[in-house]
Amino acid sequence: MERRHNKEDHRVLRARMAEDNASRTTLSFYKYVHLENPTLTRNELYAAWEQLGVLGRTYVASEGINAQISVPTDRFDALKAHLDSLGWLPNLRLNVAVEQGKSFFKLIVRVKEKIVADGLSDDMFDVTDCGEHLKADQFNALTDREDTVLIDMRNAYESEVGHFEGAICPDVNTFREEIALVEDMLQEKKDANIVMYCTGGIRCEKASAYLKHKGFPNVHQLEGGIIEYTRQAKESGIRNKFVGKNFVFDERLAERITNDVIAQCHTCGTSCDEHVNCANPMCNVLMIQCQSCGDALKQTCSEACKAFIGLPEEEQKAKRKGAKARGGFMTTGKSLRPSAAPTSRTRQ
Q: Which residues bind to Zn ion, rule: CB under 5 A? A: 265, 267-268, 270, 278, 280, 283, 290, 293, 300-301, 305
CB 265 within 8 A of CB 272: yes
**Of residues 263 and 301, the one with the C-beta less far from Zn ion:** 301
Among this protein's residues, is 198 annotated catalytic?
A: yes
Smallest distance, Zn ion to C-beta of residue 176, A: 25
Smallest distance, Zn ion to C-beta of residue 113, A: 30
By the 10 Å C-beta count (0-12 exposed, 13-18 middle, 19+ buried), 176 is classed as middle
CB 97 within 8 A of CB 228: no
Given 169, 198, 204, 293, the catalytic residue? 198
From 62, 41, 57, select the one nearest 6 (Cα to Cα): 57
Smallest distance, Zn ion to C-beta of residue 275, A: 13
**Of residues 56 and 294, the one with the C-beta less far from Zn ion:** 294
DSSP three-state, residue 52: helix
Q: Quote the longest CA-to-CA distance of the chain.
A: 62
CB 272 within 8 A of CB 288: yes
User: How far from 274 is each of 63, 246, 255, CA to CA, in Å?
Assistant: 34, 12, 11
Smallest distance, Zn ion to C-beta of residue 293, A: 3
Beta bridge partners of 194: 149, 219
SS3 percent helix, strand, coil of the chain, rounded to 5, is: 35, 20, 45
Smallest distance, Zn ion to C-beta of residue 325, A: 9
Distance CA(263)–CA(288), nearest Å, equals: 8
From 292, 291, 274, select the one nearest 330 (Cα to Cα): 274
Smallest distance, Zn ion to C-beta of residue 313, A: 18
**Of residues 127 and 278, the one with the C-beta less far from Zn ion:** 278
Q: Which helix or strand (DSSP H or E) is residue 42 part of?
A: helix 38-52
Distance CA(259)–CA(311), nearest Å, equals: 39
- Write the DSSP symbol of residue 123: G
Distance of CA 163 to the CA centre of its chain: 13
| Inter-axis angle of helices 76-86 and 38-52, nearest 10 | 160
**Of residues 66 and 267, the one with the C-beta less far from Zn ion:** 267
Smallest distance, Zn ion to C-beta of residue 284, A: 7
Distance CA(84)–CA(254), nearest Å, equals: 29
Phi, psi of 244 (to 5 degrees): 95, -140
**Of residues 124 and 268, the one with the C-beta less far from Zn ion:** 268
The length of the chain is 348
Catalytic site residues? 198
